[in-house]
């Protein structure tokens, strides 16, 4: 460190870095010129730190106060959505709060309810997803109305003529009565003379009769006992039907049926 800079620093510390004793006289808190020359540049930082103001203790910075206020506001929004039973919105508020301010008092306060909101929100989304798999139709037919409930299999099947989606349809027609049947988009069923279908309801297998009508209007195969199948649908979560194919073999069409609304098919 240059001698003139040390000289200036020494004089500056003598004028600024000192304390007074009980009598009001200046005490020996200033650093001597000789000490400054010996310490050199390595001690410059210590000198400046010693002369600077002490860091605040026990106080809250503006940023911390602002974070706490923002966390509390998110906590209040969470409380309102939770109280109203809007689980998805409550979960969304909780997600933001715990992501941005995980150590806040508000995040700790809502922790238990946040877990419940996540669970109930997930359940609500699953319920809505399953309900959305079904479609219902009511339209004029003859002297009355035809109503139907339709669901697609979870995955397409390989029919020998490419991959095909499989539809399961329940229909109530004023002239033709009630029926349940499967429809392919390509390929064909091997059930023209009648067949026995393996139907598995929530893991429990059973046999049901099927038949393929001789028509080119649709690639359809009836499941003969539509009343029993409908009754099973109303309480089942998943139903698998082994589809016999004209190209050979069978393919399982799996339906997630837990979102069925039986009230849409009155009288069944």
Rounded mean pLDDT, 224-233: 96
Q: What is the pLDDT of residue 31?
A: 42
pLDDT bracket for residue 218 (50, 70, 90): confident
Q: What mean pLDDT value characterizes the chain?
A: 84
Give, for 118, the enclosing helix (H) or strand (E). helix 111-132
Cα three-residue angle 222-164-232, rounded to 5 degrees: 40
Rounded mean pLDDT, 228-256: 97
Q: What is the pLDDT of residue 60?
A: 53
For domain 134-261, the CATH architecture is Sandwich (2.60)
Please give the structure tokens belonging to residue 247: 């190209």
3-state SS of 225-263 is CHHHHHHHHHHCCEEEEEEEECCCCEEEEEEECCCCCHH
pLDDT tens across 50-93, in order? 344 444 444 456 688 889 999 999 999 999 999 999 999 999 99
Q: Are 106 and 75 in contact (CB under 8 A)?
A: yes
CA distances from 12 to 44, 50, 156 (A): 12, 13, 85
Q: Is 109 exposed, middle or buried (0-12, 13-18, 19+ CB in 10 A)?
A: middle
Proportion of the chain above pLDDT 70, given as a percent = 77
Top pLDDT among 63 and 255 is at 255
The yes-or-no verdict on residue 154 having pLDDT over 90 is yes
Sign of CA dihedral 175, 176, 178, 183: negative
Rounded mean pLDDT, 127-147: 95
Q: Are 151 and 167 in contact (CB under 8 A)?
A: yes
pLDDT tens across 162-217, in order? 999 999 999 999 999 999 999 999 999 999 999 999 999 999 999 999 999 988 77
């Amino acid at each position: 460190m240059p001698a003139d800079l040390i000289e200036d620093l020494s004089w500056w510390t003598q004028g600024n870095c000192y304390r007074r004793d009980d009598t009001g006289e200046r005490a020996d808190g200033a650093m001597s010129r000789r000490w400054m020359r010996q310490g050199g540049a390595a001690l410059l930082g210590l000198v400046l730190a010693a002369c600077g103001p002490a860091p605040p203790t026990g106080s809250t910075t503006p940023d911390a106060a602002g974070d706490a206020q923002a966390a509390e506001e998110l906590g209040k929004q969470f409380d309102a959505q939770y109280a109203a039973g809007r689980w998805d919105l409550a979960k969304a508020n909780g997600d933001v709060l715990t992501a941005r301010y995980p150590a806040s008092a508000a995040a700790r306060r809502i922790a238990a309810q946040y877990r419940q909101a996540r669970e109930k929100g997930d359940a609500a989304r699953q319920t809505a997803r399953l309900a959305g798999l079904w479609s219902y139709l009511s339209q004029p037919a003859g002297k009355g109305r035809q109503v139907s409930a339709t669901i697609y299999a979870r995955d397409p099947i390989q029919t020998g003529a490419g991959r095909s989606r499989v539809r399961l349809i329940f229909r109530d027609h004023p002239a033709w009565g009630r029926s349940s049947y499967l429809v392919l988009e390509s390929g064909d069923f091997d059930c023209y003379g009648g067949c026995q279908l393996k139907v598995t309801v929530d893991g429990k297998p059973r046999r049901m009769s099927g038949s393929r009508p001789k028509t080119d209007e649709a690639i359809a195969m009836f499941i003969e006992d539509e009343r029993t199948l409908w009754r099973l649908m109303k309480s089942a979560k998943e139903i698998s039907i082994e589809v016999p194919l004209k190209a050979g073999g069978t393919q399982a069409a799996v339906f997630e049926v837990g979102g069925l609304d039986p009230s849409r098919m009155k009288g069944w």
